[in-house]
Each structure stands twice: as C-alpha cells, then as structure tokens.
Amino acid sequence: MNALQERQWVEAARKGDQAAFEQLVRAYEKRVFALTLRMCGSPEDAAEAAQETFLAVWQGLGSFRGEASFSTWLYRLASNACVDFLRRENRHRAAAGPSIDDEEMNLEVSDPAPTPQEAAERAELRSQVEAGLRELPPEYRQVLILREIHQLSYEEIGQALCLDSGTVKSRISRGRKRLRKFLLESGNFSGGPPSKDLEKEGRQ
C-alpha cells in the first residue's frame, strides 16, 4: 500500500465507504494487533483491544482531518484502547520485543551463532525484561513499546498520544529507570560497563 492509495481509502472511508475501510483494516490489522498484544499481554485481550481500536477508527473517521498521518492517529487509538482496557480490567501485564532502551540497552542479537550458554543467557535476560515491563504503569509501558517496538520518533509518539515532547521524554526516561532497577534487583543487568550484548546503541 502506497501513501496515495492510503489517502484514497481514508477519504472514501470518511464518506462511509465500508469496502475502503475494510482495506485499511487489512493493511493495518497485523501492526495494530502487534501493538495491542505487547500492551495487553494475552492474545484474547489483544484481540479485544484491536477490535475496540478499529471500532474507534470507524466512528472517528469523520473527524479525522489529517493533521497527523493516518498511521500515527491509528497508533493513538490503539494505544489508548489498550490503556483503557488495562485500567478497566486492572491488569498489569504485557509482552515486549527485545530492544527496550535505544540509548543504553539493546538486546538485539548481533552474533548469528551464539553458544548454547550465550543463547540461554539472552533468553533469560529477555524473560526478565518482559517481567520488568509487566511491572511498569501503562503510561510508561505505552511509550516504550511505541518507541522500541514500532520505532516511532519522539515527535510521532507525542502526536500519537497527544503529549508534548517533554512529557514523552520524561515518561521514557522514567520507564527505563524503573526497568533498569528491576533488572539490577533481579541480577540480570549490571550497573557497570555494558556487556557485549548490550553495548550496541539503537538509533533515534
């Protein structure tokens, strides 16, 4: 799907064209589900949040003016649906991808052939990262997932969540500090120089 095709579908869907809306759903359903899964934790909860997201899209298309891109607007609705779901159900659990801190931590495996011991250590670290994310408040988990998993810039996160850049940076910083504290206490992350697996910095 190119940008022109997307704009055509959005404009048609805004006028009530259900076929165009279905095309948008097909184009984005996997990405939306990936976000809701990492926010909500279980496939069942993620599917419910994804359904709520696309319902909100359909109901809100009439007021969508294109100040932000459609995908940024969609991430906002999906993220808000997840936060609402977690608060409503009083759940604090989520899944996450490997990279959490693009400035100080990166769990991407650069060695194509790790030893069994290295592979086990990395798996354990990822498990602890996921456990740490489950302990984060939804608003911190939200910005980390948008940043690290979906690779949104700070500006895009601010647009998606209706936050100023200072708030985005503050939440990411606080979320990372809480996560590092959790990893330090669990014995899976040292406070000294980064290890081989953590020394590669991500990119903004």
Which of the two residues, 135 and 111, has the higher pLDDT score?
135
pLDDT digits (tens, 9 = 90+) for 165-203: 899 999 999 988 888 888 788 765 555 444 434 333 333
Encoding tokens for residue 101? 């801190």
Q: How many percent of the chain have pLDDT more than 70?
A: 74
Which residues make Cβ contacts (< 8 Å) with residue 194, sequence separation at least 6?
104, 105
Rounded to the nearest integer, the mean pLDDT of the chain is 76
* Per-residue 3-state assignment (H helix, E strand, C coil) for the chain: CCHHHHHHHHHHHHCCCHHHHHHHHHHHHHHHHHHHHHHHCCHHHHHHHHHHHHHHHHHHHHHCCCCCCHHHHHHHHHHHHHHHHHHHHCCCCCCCCCCCCCCCCCCCCCCCCCCHHHHHHHHHHHHHHHHHHHCCCHHHHHHHHHHHHCCCCHHHHHHHHCCCHHHHHHHHHHHHHHHHHHHHHHCCCCCCCCCCCCCCCCCC
Average pLDDT over residues 148-172: 85
Torsion angle, alpha carbons of 18, 23, 26, 27, to 10: -140
- Can you give the pLDDT at residue 188? 58
Locate 174 and state its tokens: 């606080």
Nearest to 189 by CA among 148, 129, 130: 129
Q: Which percentage of the chain shows pLDDT scores above 90? A: 25
C-beta of residue 109 within 8 angstroms of C-beta of residue 122: yes
What are the pLDDT digits (tens) for 106-128? Answer: 434 344 556 777 667 666 766 77
Task: Report pLDDT for 72.
Answer: 87
> How does residue 158 score in pLDDT terms, banded at 50, 70 and 90?
confident
CB atoms within 10 A of CB 5: 11
Tens digits of per-residue pLDDT, 50-77? 999 999 999 999 888 877 789 888 988 9
Higher-scoring residue by pLDDT: 192, 36: 36
Tell whether the torsion through CA atoms of 107, 111, 112 and 118 is positive or negative: negative
